[in-house]
Chains A and B, each alone.
Chain A
Amino acid sequence: GAGVSQSPRYKVAKRGQDVALRCDPISGHVSLFWYQQALGQGPEFLTYFQNEAQLDKSGLPSDRFFAERPEGSVSTLKIQRTQQEDSAVYLCASSFRQGGSPLHFGNGTRLTVT
């Protein structure tokens, strides 16, 4: 596709529910990143993939957060047993190759946990 596509655009979950957020990167992009952005803050790194390999998950806040990219293209970020502090915008980004190339972001998924 022309850009990074994320769905859903908005998600409201009741505390304790599980959610799954989808990211479709730019075709041919090897690297895929997930970031979390709280209101008024800059994006904070969660995890990243090179093709299907998850190379760094040091930013995932807890073991309730899980990300996968099984075929090296589409990625899913799953949050189990959501809590209010999980409310944020979740941004997906992709880049053409590892080792430094411009990062391109999707529009994000705004998650609200009530």
Chain B
Amino acid sequence: GIQVEQSPPDLILQEGANSTLRCNFSDSVNNLQWFHQNPWGQLINLFYIPSGTKQNGRLSATTVATERYSLLYISSSQTTDSGVYFCAVPFRNTDKLIFGTGTRLQVFP
């Protein structure tokens, strides 16, 4: 099946720093989604991004489908950005999403 690897696995930042999270996937896909799971377990959809670049406030994402990777940029990080970030891609272009290994982010004041 499709492999979805994220890096780094863990990231510790001071408030105000910028970061880049990476998602690599093994097969071609027709869409990709980024999620943030907060410390209380709630999964929030950040981006639905099959290709190209999207921005939402301090967050932006870029997917290069032909090279099988996506990047999530967090600028001017805040303590509320802490949690685990997952990317997810569809299995064989079905609606079944396969989640990556996750990046655990801790932002300290």
> Could you tell me which A residues sit within 8 Å of B by CB distance?
31, 33, 42-45, 48, 50, 55-56, 58-59, 89, 91, 93, 95, 98-105, 107-108, 110
In whole angstroms, what is the CA distance A95 to B91 when docked? 16
CB atoms of A105 and B43 under 8 A apart: yes
Main secondary structure of the interface of A (DSSP, over half): strand
B32 CB → nearest A CB, Å: 10
The listed residue (B41, B44, B88, B101) touching A108 by CB distance below 8 A is B41
**Number of residues on chain B facing chain A (CB within 8 A):** 24
In whole angstroms, what is the CA distance A89 to B40 when docked? 12
B45 interface contact, C-beta 8 A:
yes
Q: Which residues of B contact A101 (CB under 8 A)?
A: 48
The listed residue (B45, B90, B91) touching A100 by CB distance below 8 A is B90
CB atoms of A31 and B95 under 8 A apart: yes
Report the nearest A residue to B42, measured CB to CB: A107
CB atoms of B41 and A89 under 8 A apart: yes
B103 CB → nearest A CB, Å: 11
CB atoms of B96 and A48 under 8 A apart: yes
In whole angstroms, what is the CA distance A43 to B30 when docked? 20
Q: Which residues of A contact B83 (CB under 8 A)?
A: none
CB atoms of B99 and A100 under 8 A apart: no
